[in-house]
A and B are shown apart, each in its own frame.
Chain A
Amino acid sequence: DARVTQTPRDKVTEMGQEVTMRCQPILGHNTVFWYRQTMMQGLELLAYFRNRAPLDDSGMPKDRFSAEMPDATLATLKIQPSEPRDSAVYFCASGRDANYGYTFGSGTRLTVV
């Protein structure tokens, strides 16, 4: 089965450090999402790309978060500087225009201390 690959699986970092999370979408998928999952807020959409172009990043704190797709095989989510409130599980998901069910990666569990 094709998979969405996210790295790292777990990340512990100190407050103020830069964090980069990576996602390899399924080959041929042209839509990529980033979601954040916390107990308090549930699943929140952070960013959305179609054909590598960012279409919606309204859910992302712009002052510290950035999302990019340098090429079709890689999506990145960067936090600089990180804060304890950023601790969460970050999920990447990909899909095709004609297939509206998205495939999720296993997530990156981020802990900021």
Chain B
Amino acid sequence: AQSVTQPDIHITVSEGASLELRCNYSYGATPYLFWYVQSPGQGLQLLLKYFSGDTLVQGIKGFEAEFKRSQSSFNLRKPSVHWSDAAEYFCAVGARGGSYIPTFGRGTSLIVHP
């Protein structure tokens, strides 16, 4: 079965600083990978997804993520964080072959200081 680890429960950055959120997955083959963002009291919004091809994936709101097979990682990055980026971020992995049910990590809470 697939699993996802987000090692950082909280990350604090200053507005304008760069951001990297870590995600490691466990799956026996090439997975589908997702990053979602959740603002307080809201549902999850898809930021980006990786299925195949270019390992650097561009998403919405200026986010990108890089799939590194050798490290089983799919880290999320943003060059300059805005105060509105403060939210909970979830990495998810889906298995290939029909039933690609997303399994979510525990999330990383991003705090942005002015």
Chain A interfacial positions (CB closer than 8 Å to B): 4, 33, 35, 42-43, 45, 48, 55-56, 91, 93, 100-107
Interface of chain A: mostly helix, strand, loop or mixed: strand
Take A45-B101, A45-B103 as given contacts and tell me if A101 and B46 are in contact as well, using a CB distance cutoff of 8 Å: yes
Contact, CB under 8 Å: B32 / A100: yes
Contact, CB under 8 Å: B43 / A42: no
B side interface size, CB within 8 A: 22
Contact, CB under 8 Å: A103 / B103: no
Task: List 5 tightest A-B contacts by C-beta distance, closest first.
Answer: A104-B43, A43-B104, A101-B46, A104-B44, A42-B106
Cβ-neighbour of B42 out of A101, A102, A106 (below 8 A): A106
- A46 to B73 Cα, complex, angstroms: 26
B25 close to A (CB within 8 Å): no
CB-defined contacts of B107 to chain A, threshold 8 Å = 42
CB-defined contacts of B32 to chain A, threshold 8 Å = 100
Contact, CB under 8 Å: B43 / A107: yes
Contact, CB under 8 Å: B104 / A56: no
Contact, CB under 8 Å: A105 / B43: yes
B70 close to A (CB within 8 Å): no
